[in-house]
């Protein structure tokens, strides 16, 4: 093998090697190449598409199948109101100023924080004109060259469009899949038979008009996100599944450590993280433990993972507590693969307020509460003749005033003023009333694990990548291997090829992802298969013709076993379900 071609040289890092391999073998490549390409867009080829599907299938297996999270699928474009309500239109853009002299560009709000001593929270709330005024008032100049700033601009990192042929209706490409779930909450909650807690996941494309996408699959303008919104009653925050993960160790880089400019992680079990109040929500820590498990199943060892607590100013506008899950990669060090945010009732509240639709849920008390309260009831028979057509308005105004205030005034003065209306004692009925309160309404809280599918894909590739005898071997975990079985006739003649086709059909009908390859020497085919991550190779040789047995080759160890064709389906099913290991597939052939 030629080292240069395969990028196996130590100075050629894994990112380069993987991108080259990916293009050549069809895992992925930059989109629109015939028109010169466009940054931040990627096309998954046949191998990559399958691998990505398998990774997303893992998410479904872990969350949808095993813990009963619901799945939904909605549109990428949403009416402007959705993202106005969610706060994205305000927060998903950066105020920028450009120096007229050196053309340097700066975040205007960051300048205010540094030069005008305005807190980041304040700066974030300010309007464009306010920021401009503050910059002028403090006489802030370019920190690089001292030049004057030009016009203040905002760069919106959402893709904006219009819906329909007339330009009135603004729409945005969703920058996260989460909002669809919040917007559809009422229907989802009904479908979930109105019981908390419950979770909904949406796996789909999201769009962010990144200023400068780099790093291949790591930062795309169009990418696949898996947002899981888990709704629960803040009064009953306990996670009933916690026992399954409570001794799981999470290496966390804590805020307090980060502020000391130290990168050491603290190993905490799930239980400790909760007991020490480092993670506030049981569900959040549960999902963090699940995320760790997911990455392990994708081939990333535990010691190459960590969680990082986000500092106040790093958190998204909707989050009260955030952790990122990071994986160590060759080129960039630690990169984020999932984010875990405690979104509280932020999103549902925003949409309730903006839409006017009630999204609170009703909870019946275990024991109804008997409540005695003071009630002010307007006597319309008395108010009507006095105020005529204004009577109902007066009653409405009265209803807004705290009951105790009315009662006190009546007792002291014998009347009560609402705006300009004088309400007399005989016009209202003030009494203590007993009511039975059977339940209450509240807005559910949300914890959100959010996975970047493309990043999961990339780290899976990077951790599968290995060199054996100077050849590239993609050692994917067997559950995500893009091709499960390769079928090879030793020679493409003497009936070996037709026999191999039969075996291929047999396995394909059994539901396996099979590939047939009859060209080139057998060694060349094995090498090709290793590079594509084909889990097992089945070779039909001259012995097959006499006794109906084949060799099965393991991609990672290159060991071979001999197995009867009739046993293949059963044995391979067991193998891919993880119930037997390779050596148990047949009798070992000594090399």
Partner RNA sequence: GCGGUCGUAGUCUAGUUUGGUAGGACAUCAGCUUCCCAAGCUGACGACCCGGGUUCAAAUCCCGGUGACCGCACCA
Residue of 129, 167, 190, 212 interacting with RNA (CB under 7 A): 212
- Interface with RNA by CB under 7 A: which range of 268-276, 288-296, 394-402, 528-536? 528-536
| Cα–Cα dist 158/173, whole Å | 6
Q: Considering the rule CB under 7 A, would residue 132 count as an interface residue with RNA?
A: no
Quick check: 546 binds RNA (CB under 7 A)?
no
Q: Is 362 in the site for RNA (CB under 7 A)?
A: no
- Residues 162-191, interacting with RNA (CB under 7 A): 175-176
Verify binding: residue 521, RNA, rule CB under 7 A. Answer: yes
Spatial CB neighbours of 361, under 8 Å, sequence gap ≥ 6:
189, 194, 196, 441, 442, 443, 444
Kindly provide the residue ranges of all beta strands, DSSP E only, lying in 405-556, ordered along the sequence. Answer: 415-418, 421-424, 428-442, 445-452, 465-468, 471-474, 485-489, 514-516, 536-540, 549-554
Q: Does 244 bind RNA (CB under 7 A)?
A: no
Question: What residue ranges in 47-159 does DSSP mark as E strands?
Answer: 70-71, 77-79, 93-99, 105-107, 149-156
CB of 316 vs RNA, minimal distance in Å: 3
- To the nearest whole angstrom, how small is the minimum distance from the Cβ of residue 557 to RNA? 8
The residue (of 421 and 451) whose beta carbon lies closer to RNA is 451
Please select the residue that binds RNA; options are 303, 366, 469, 546, rule is CB under 7 A.
469
Which residues between 556 and 575 bind RNA (CB under 7 A)?
Answer: 558-560
Q: How far is CA 35 from CA 43, 55, 184, 213, 319, in A?
A: 14, 31, 39, 18, 40
Stretch that binds RNA, among 22-30, 292-300, 376-384, 449-457 (CB under 7 A): 22-30
Task: Taking the CA atoms of 24, 514, 472 and 4 in sequence, report the sign of the dihedral they define.
Answer: negative
**Distance from CA of residue 175 to its chain's centroid?**
11
State how far the Cα of 450 lies from the Cα of 291, in Å rounded to an integer. Answer: 10
Instruction: State in angstroms the smallest separation of the CB of 185 from RNA.
Output: 20
Of 126 and 386, which CB lies nearer to RNA in the complex structure? 126
Binding-site size for RNA (CB under 7 A) equals 71
Closer of 292 and 525 to RNA (Cβ): 525
Q: What's the token pair of residue 87?
A: 């706060």
Is the Cβ of residue 133 or residue 330 nearer to RNA in the bound state? Answer: 330
By CB under 7 A, tell whether 205 contacts RNA: no
Smallest distance, RNA to C-beta of residue 298, A: 22
Taking Cα atoms as reference points, which of 307, 159, 171 lies closest to residue 223? 159
Question: Binding of RNA at residue 446 (CB under 7 A)?
Answer: no
Residues 471-510 contacting RNA, CB under 7 A: 471-472, 490-492, 494
Least separation, in Å, of the C-beta of 376 and RNA?
Answer: 45
Work out the number of other CB atoms within 10 angstroms of the CB of residue 205: 14
| CA pseudo-torsion sign 42, 48, 53, 56 | negative
CB under 7 A: which stretch of 36-44, 358-366, 405-413, 475-483 binds RNA?
Answer: 36-44
475 near 466, Cβ under 8 Å?
yes
Residues between 417 and 436 that touch RNA (CB under 7 A): none
Instruction: Provide the Cα torsion 176, 179, 182, 185; round to 10°.
Output: -100
* Residue 11 binds RNA, judged by CB under 7 A: no
Complex with RNA: residue 319 or 453, whichever CB lies closer: 319
Does the footprint of RNA cover residue 38 (CB under 7 A)?
yes
In angstroms, give the least distance from the CB of 92 to RNA.
3
**84 belongs to the binding site for RNA (CB under 7 A):** no
End-to-end CA gap in the chain = 22
- Residue 9 binds RNA (CB under 7 A): no
Minimum Å gap between C-beta 522 and RNA is 4
Task: Give the number of residues written for the chain.
Answer: 591
**What token pair was written down for 532?**
């594509």
| Site membership for RNA, residue 225 (CB under 7 A) | no
Q: Phi-psi bin for 252: left (phi > 0), alpha (psi -120 to 50), beta?
A: beta
Kindly tell me which of 26 and 237 has the beta carbon lying closer to RNA. 26
Give the footprint of RNA on residues 302-321 (CB under 7 A): 314-317, 319
Q: From the list 57, 141, 152, 527, which residue makes contact with RNA (rule: CB under 7 A)?
A: 527
Give SS3 for 451. strand
Helices 14-25 and 522-532, interaxial angle, to 10°?
A: 120
Segment holding 327, helix H or strand E: strand 321-329
Q: Which is nearer to RNA, 6 or 478 (CB)?
A: 6
To the nearest whole angstrom, how small is the minimum distance from the Cβ of residue 295 to RNA? 19
226 binding RNA? (CB under 7 A): no
**What is the x/- site pattern for RNA, positions 331-350, by CB under 7 A?**
x-------------------
Binding window for RNA (CB under 7 A); candidates: 132-140, 209-217, 229-237, 364-372: 209-217
Q: Cβ closer to RNA: 329 or 423?
A: 329
Residue 498: CB atoms within 10 Å: 11
Our measurement of the distance from residue 6's CA atom to the centroid of its chain's CA atoms, rounded to an integer in Å, reads 34
Nearest Cα to Cα of residue 507 among 560, 565, 455, 555: 565
Task: Check if the beta carbon of residue 537 is closer than 8 Å to that of residue 589.
Answer: no
Q: Angle CA(29)–CA(33)–CA(34) in degrees, nearest 5?
A: 145
Name residue, tokens 């949409």: 351
* Minimum CB distance to RNA, residue 389 (Å): 50
Q: What is the C-alpha to C-alpha distance for residues 417 and 28, in angstroms, rounded to an integer?
A: 73
Q: Could you say whether residue 528 binds RNA (CB under 7 A)?
A: yes
CB of 524 to RNA, least distance (A): 4
Q: Which of 421, 551, 572, 576 binds RNA (CB under 7 A)?
A: 551
For the segment 109-128, give every residue that binds RNA (CB under 7 A).
110
Q: Which is nearer to RNA, 158 or 201 (by Cβ)?
A: 158
CB of 356 to RNA, least distance (A): 25
């Amino acid at each position: 093998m030629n080292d240069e071609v395969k990028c196996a040289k130590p100075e050629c890092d894994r990112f380069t090697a993987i991108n080259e391999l990916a293009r050549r073998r069809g895992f992925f490549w930059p989109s629109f190449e015939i028109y010169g390409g466009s940054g931040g867009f990627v096309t998954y080829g046949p191998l990559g598409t399958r691998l990505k599907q398998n990774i997303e299938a893992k998410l479904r297996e872990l969350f949808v199948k095993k813990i009963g999270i619901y799945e939904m699928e909605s549109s990428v474009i949403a009416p402007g109101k959705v993202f106005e309500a969610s706060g994205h239109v305000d927060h998903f853009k950066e105020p920028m100023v450009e120096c007229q002299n050196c053309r340097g560009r700066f975040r205007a709000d960051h300048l205010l924080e540094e030069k005008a001593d305005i807190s980041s929270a304040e700066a974030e709330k300010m309007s464009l004109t306010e920021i401009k005024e503050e910059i002028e008032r403090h006489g802030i100049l370019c920190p690089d060259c001292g030049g004057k700033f030009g016009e203040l601009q905002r760069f919106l990192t959402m893709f904006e469009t219009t819906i329909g042929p007339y330009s009135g209706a603004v729409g945005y490409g969703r920058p996260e899949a989460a909002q669809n779930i919040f917007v559809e909450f009422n229907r989802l909650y009904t479908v979930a038979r109105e019981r908390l807690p419950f979770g909904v996941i949406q796996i789909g494309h999201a769009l962010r008009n990144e200023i400068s996408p780099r790093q291949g699959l790591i930062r795309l303008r169009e990418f696949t996100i898996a947002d899981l919104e888990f709704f629960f009653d803040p009064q009953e925050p306990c996670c009933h599944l916690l026992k399954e993960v409570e001794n799981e160790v999470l290496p966390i880089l804590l805020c307090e450590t980060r502020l000391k400019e130290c990168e050491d992680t603290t190993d905490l079990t799930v239980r400790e993280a909760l007991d020490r109040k480092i993670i506030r929500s049981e569900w959040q820590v549960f999902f963090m433990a699940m995320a760790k498990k997911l990455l392990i199943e994708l081939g990333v060892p535990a010691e190459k993972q960590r969680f990082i607590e986000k500092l106040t100013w790093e958190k998204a506008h909707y989050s009260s507590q955030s952790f990122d899950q990071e994986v160590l990669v060759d080129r960039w060090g630690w990169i984020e693969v999932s984010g875990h945010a405690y979104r509280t009732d932020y999103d549902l509240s925003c949409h309730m307020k903006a839409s006017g639709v009630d999204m609170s849920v009703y909870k019946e008390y275990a024991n109804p509460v008997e409540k005695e309260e003071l009630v002010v009831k307007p006597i319309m028979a008395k108010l009507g003749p006095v105020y005529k057509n204004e009577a109902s308005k007066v009653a409405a105004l009265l209803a807004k005033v705290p009951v105790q205030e009315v009662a006190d005034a009546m007792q002291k003065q014998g009347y009560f003023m609402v705006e300009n209306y004088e309400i007399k004692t005989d016009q209202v009925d003030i009494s203590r009333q007993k009511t039975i309160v059977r339940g209450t309404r509240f807005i559910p809280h949300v914890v959100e694990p959010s996975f970047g599918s493309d990043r999961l894909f990339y780290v899976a590739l990077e951790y599968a990548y290995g060199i054996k005898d100077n050849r590239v071997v993609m050692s994917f975990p067997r559950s995500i291997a893009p091709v499960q079985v390769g079928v090879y006739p030793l020679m493409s003649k003497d009936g070996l090829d037709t026999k191999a086709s039969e075996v291929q059909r047999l396995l394909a009908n059994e539901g396996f992802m099979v590939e047939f390859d009859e060209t080139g020497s057998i060694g060349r085919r094995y090498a090709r298969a290793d590079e594509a991550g084909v889990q097992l190779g089945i070779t039909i040789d001259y012995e097959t013709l006499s006794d109906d047995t084949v060799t099965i080759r393991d991609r990672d160890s290159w060991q071979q076993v001999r197995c009867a064709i009739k046993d293949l389906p059963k044995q391979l099913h067991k193998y891919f379900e993880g119930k037997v290991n390779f050596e148990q597939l047949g009798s070992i052939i000594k090399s």
